[in-house]
Every structure is written in structure tokens, then in C-alpha cells.
Structure 1
């Protein structure tokens, strides 16, 4: 393997093959009547498959304990074609796709050289909380006094953000979207009524996040193909910015839209829902990842997060996944909860984007009112979090917030 790595590095094989493939595409484009600029633009961001293979082979040189090779069977060609992944002519050419990738379990060793050679190392990010496990996994060999933390507040004034922990819906059903309870018909009905009521008092755009596509499908079936993302966002913005002609004729101000998203999906990272695009952000439940994921199980085993006993894995906040193989230790529970809360923080941070912005963040699950979960929220949200034991309190707080904003404007 070392000889192969040396050969790939010295021969620049990946770069040469990529250049050759680019040359062939240019010739084919010219033969078809296209221009060089069109061809370059079309393939500017196409990853080189040879570079990916080279990176995978090099990763196999890591110590056995530091990573795992994950092999999985993908969907058949017909499913990929329907999802827009494969062109039509590829259907039937391949029944099963086999995926192999390297999962790094121990980033500390790869980061160690940087830490030892530099006078200081700065890790900076927008949404990194909670960071305890990040520090322990990257710097397990450093004494605690060597690590300094700094977290600044948000640029928005305190009165520009209202964060609510919503413990129950209009029907009085407690909001606890655990694995066992989340499909309950009464809970879903209460969730639907809550969204309708919130949209009645929140102006302009509301972005609602669900824990998974499967759970969102119980409420709403959304476009799945990648080429529909831009069209969906354009329609969402248009519904907010353009008043309905009927409302305009009566001088009414009712307008807006509700956008359903999934935590960890395209809308939860990098999309800017500033100003009227995101006057309200709703998080439904706690998006705990599946404990049946082989990647997650390998990571938990590596950090000592799985005990030998079998049964039901559960966090102290009630996130349970039935499994005969997985039972979390306290260290595993902490890691599992931190994964969930980082995803929550990444999603709810889509709304407040600049100093003059304002929004309501509604966290629909009574577990958000517990101290353990609350402390894992960013400080600028946790400090302003209002616990609403009754839904009437939720609506009252929300209506008062936007009434004040209208007076300020």
C-alpha cells in the first residue's frame, strides 16, 4: 500500500486522468457544436473520481483502531433514476450499487501535528455548541488549562428575539415527540393545530423543521428531486413578498408562507432566512439520529459509549430506540444528545442573520424546558428561552412580541 501511495503521488496519475477526461469532454462538446466556455462551466465542479479513489486508498494506511471501512448496498438503478440520480439510459444497467467509504473515528491523531507545531491553534465557528465532546475528541492529550473557550453574544438586541419552549398544544396534549409517541394521532392533530395558530400570529415567512423525512411525510409530502429546490425557494419567497390580489384590493396585510424542512437537509445549513423569509422558526421535537446507523454505532463503540448489555437505548430525556444490540453508557448518552443539539442549533440559527433582524423561535417539545437540554442551546438563545406550559401562553407571548415590533417600526 505504501508503494501504491508513492506511485500515485509521484506519477500525478489522478491529475493526469482528470486532465485527459476534461480534454475528451471538450472535444465531444466541440463536435456537438458547443463552446469551450459552456463545457468548462458545465464540469467546473465535477469531482475527479480518481482523486476520490486515491484519497480512499491513502486512508487505509491509518491505524486499524482509528477508522473503519463502511460498505453498504445502495438503491437499485430504477430507484436512482426516479430520484434523478441516474440518467434514463442507466436504468437496468446496474441492479445494485455498492458504496465503500472510510469513516475516521480518531481525528485527534491527525490534528496532533498541527497542535504540537503551532504556538496556538484557534478553532472558530458560527454554531459549534455544545463543544465538550468536540474538545475531548480533538485534544484528549491536552490538560484542561491549555484550552481557552470564548463565546460571544449575538449582535441582535435582546428584544429582537423570542425563544419559546412549547410544552403542549392547543388540545392540551403534552408535546413529547419521542420514538414511541410521535405517531400518535392526537399528538399529530395537536401539532397541526399549533402550526395553524402560530402562522396566524407570525407575519411573513415561517420555517418548520422536522427530525426526518419519514416524520415530515406524516404532515406534508414535499418535492424530493434536487432540481426542485430552487423552484421551491422561489415560490416561498414570492408568497411572502407578493400579496394576494384579493387581499390587496381590500387593503389587507395578510401574506406569508410556511416552509417545511428536515434537520440536516438542504434547508438546515447555509440557507439565509433573514428578515421576512424567517420571522418564525419552529422545531418539532428533538432530532436524535437513528441508533441503528452502523456509522453511529462504530463511533459510539470507539468512545466507549456502548455497553455490553442489550435492550433499549435511551437518553435521560426520553429519546428511545428499540434495539437488541445497542445500550448507551453515560458517555454515549452525552455524545448522542450533543449530536442532536448541534443539529438543532444549526437549524434554528437560520433565522436571525443581522443586527436589525427579529424572529420567534418555537421549540415544540417539553424536553426543551429541562435543564439538561436547555444548557446545550447557544447561550444567546438559552438566556432568552421562555417556558410555556400552556399553549395559550405561547400564542400570547408571540402576538405580544410582533405587536411590539410593529410599534417600533
Structure 2
């Protein structure tokens, strides 16, 4: 997308893969609830009571098994308010507050800052908390939820931008006329970029670990999944897509048991940051350089 817009050819001089001492990342795509009802935030089903109930049940079940902090992202403030109102009527909020404290991001900057401070205090004290926030909002842009501040992150729906904006319509027309970039291609690219930015808030180092849940069946489609960063795609195997709520909970339990095993920084010593092919390539280059030095001139 960017090479086409900026008119340049990307050149990769050297590529390094992400190397971890342990599999500290668990991305999953949850496509249905325990009642087998498909979950999605698309316009046709976003107000469906069964979809909203399954979203709530997924959050409650994850909050029961995940310690410390859980961060959730919704596609918009309007959708967040609508879902929370339905959760109150369905008793989801009461069930959630029995497990963890609940904080909600709002469009008011002062209220959101206060919610963040209290959320951090709840996680620091060991009480645990859930933070409901919005993609493209303050929380998704510059707040890191490292270690116990974010052991799980849930992305409820695909965060497409509001397409009725006149500014956006003009931008889409310009991209189509000048660069032959289709409207859907750009919107999907932009949405997946923001989704990856949201879920990436919880992994901030090699010693950190976390669970990433993409709660929308559309994430499993190749055109969506292929636009996720490679470091997420590497761990998002086929058996972690099209899951139900119960399957996601069981996988989360197993992952957290593995992460609970003793692990220190010393365990990372001796773990190569290069792949075997890269090591062989560098060894061959060094040998060639040494041979050139000993050849008499």
C-alpha cells in the first residue's frame, strides 16, 4: 500500500525474524459463541442480542481465567456504549464485577485519565481489572499495558473507519483516481493496522507474555488475516482460528499454565537472535574474509 502511494520500491538489505526464548504470545480468532452463533460487529448483526451476549460471555469467561489486567477494544464509542447498556440488562456487568473491577474509556479526557490511573492501581494491588476502550481512542494510541497491566487483550470487531465522512470520501476518491487503490482494500488495510496496534499494547518485551483475542469471524478470512503483522501471523496457526468461546478459554488456561513456570532472564542467555540460515551465511562471509586476508599479495 505505502510503496504504491509514495512511489518507491522497498529494498530489504537484511531481514531479522523475532526470536523468543519461549512462546509468550497466544493470538486467537474467536468466530462463535458456545451456542454456535457467529459473532461479528458488522452492521447487520451488531445489534443482535445473541451476538452481544456472546461477546459478554467471552469477556466474563476470559476474566475468570486470566489474572491481573484485561483490556478490551471496541470499534467505536457508540458501539461501546450500546454493548455496555445491553450487558447491564443481561447481567453481564454484574458477573464481570464479581471477578474484576471494571473501568470504561469515555470521550472525556479527564475521565479517561482517571480511569487509567485506577485501572493501574487495581492491577498493582492484585485485585485485577477490566478496561473497556475504543480503537483509535486515547488508550489505543499511546498507553502500554506491559506485564501484569495486560495479560489479555480482546478486539471486539474490526475497527473500520466511519465511511460517511466527507473528508474520508474525498481521500478514497483520490486514492482510486491517482493510485488505482480500491476503496475496500484501503479500508481493510487501515482497519487491520489499527487492530494490530491495539492488540500489540500488551506485548512490550521479550520477558512479557499475553493473550490476543480477535473476536470477529471476519478476522479468519485470508484478506484480513494476511494484513496482520508477520510477528502475529507466525503464532496465529490454523488451529487457532474459527474457535468457540469454550475452546478459546481452554487454550488460554493451558497457555497461562505454561507461562506460570519459573522463568528468569538468565534463561534467555545462549538463545540465538539469528536463524540457522543467517548464522551459516555470516559464518561463510567471515571465513571468506579470513581467507582473503591470508592470501599473499
TM superposition score normalised by structure 1: 0.55
- 1:148 corresponding residue in structure 2: 11
- 2:108 corresponding residue in structure 1: 225
Consecutive unaligned residues in structure 1, runs of 5 or more: 1-132, 244-254, 307-328
Are residues 1:359 and 2:210 paired?
yes
Task: Tell me if the contact between 1:305 and 1:332 (Cα under 8 Å) persists in the aligned partners.
Answer: no
- 2:248 corresponding residue in structure 1: 394
Q: Give the superposition deviation at 1:305.
A: 6.8
Task: Tell me if the contact between 1:161 and 1:358 (Cα under 8 Å) persists in the aligned partners.
Answer: yes
Rg bigger for which structure?
Answer: 1
- 1:263 corresponding residue in structure 2: 135
Task: Tell me if the contact between 1:201 and 1:395 (Cα under 8 Å) persists in the aligned partners.
Answer: yes
- 2:151 corresponding residue in structure 1: 279
Q: Distance in 1 between matches of 2:106 and 2:159?
A: 21
2:29 to 143, 148, 165: 165
Consecutive unaligned residues in structure 2, runs of 5 or more: 85-103, 264-297
- 1:234 corresponding residue in structure 2: 117
Q: Give the superposition deviation at 1:378.
A: 0.5
Distance 1:408 1:168, change over 3 A: farther
Instruction: Give the number of the structure whose residues are more often helix, by fraction.
Output: 2
2:71 to 165, 183, 207: 207
Are residues 1:339 and 2:211 paired?
no
Task: Tell me if the contact between 1:153 and 1:379 (Cα under 8 Å) persists in the aligned partners.
Answer: no
Distance 1:305 1:265, change over 3 A: farther
Q: Distance in 1 between matches of 2:40 and 2:120?
A: 32
Q: Give the superposition deviation at 1:156.
A: 4.1
- 2:168 corresponding residue in structure 1: 296
Q: Distance in 2 between matches of 1:367 and 1:373?
A: 7
TM superposition score normalised by structure 2: 0.75
Task: Tell me if the contact between 1:156 and 1:354 (Cα under 8 Å) persists in the aligned partners.
Answer: no
Q: Distance in 1 between matches of 2:50 and 2:81?
A: 17
The 5-angstrom pairing of residues 169-184 of structure 1 reads 169-184=33-48
- 1:103 corresponding residue in structure 2: none
Task: Tell me if the contact between 1:210 and 1:263 (Cα under 8 Å) persists in the aligned partners.
Answer: yes
Equivalent position SS for 1:288: coil
Number of residue pairs the alignment of both structures matches: 239
Offset from partner CA, 1:381-403 (integer Å, 9 cap, x none)? 01111214322211111000001
Q: Distance in 1 between matches of 2:19 and 2:142?
A: 19
Equivalent position SS for 1:360: strand
Task: Tell me if the contact between 2:105 and 2:115 (Cα under 8 Å) persists in the aligned partners.
Answer: no
Distance 1:256 1:289, change over 3 A: same
Distance 1:387 1:151, change over 3 A: farther
Q: Distance in 1 between matches of 2:43 and 2:78?
A: 12
Equivalent position SS for 2:82: coil
CA RMSD, 1 decimal: 2.0
Distance 1:154 1:349, change over 3 A: farther
Q: Give the superposition deviation at 1:179.
A: 1.2
Equivalent position SS for 1:269: helix
Q: Distance in 1 between matches of 2:256 and 2:177?
A: 44
Task: Tell me if the contact between 2:123 and 2:149 (Cα under 8 Å) persists in the aligned partners.
Answer: yes
Q: Which has the higher contact order (CA 8 A, sep 6+)?
A: 2
- 2:283 corresponding residue in structure 1: none
2:220 to 369, 382, 386: 369
Task: Tell me if the contact between 1:205 and 1:280 (Cα under 8 Å) persists in the aligned partners.
Answer: yes
Task: Tell me if the contact between 2:73 and 2:155 (Cα under 8 Å) persists in the aligned partners.
Answer: yes
- 2:56 corresponding residue in structure 1: 192
Offset from partner CA, 1:88-119 (integer Å, 9 cap, x none)? xxxxxxxxxxxxxxxxxxxxxxxxxxxxxxxx
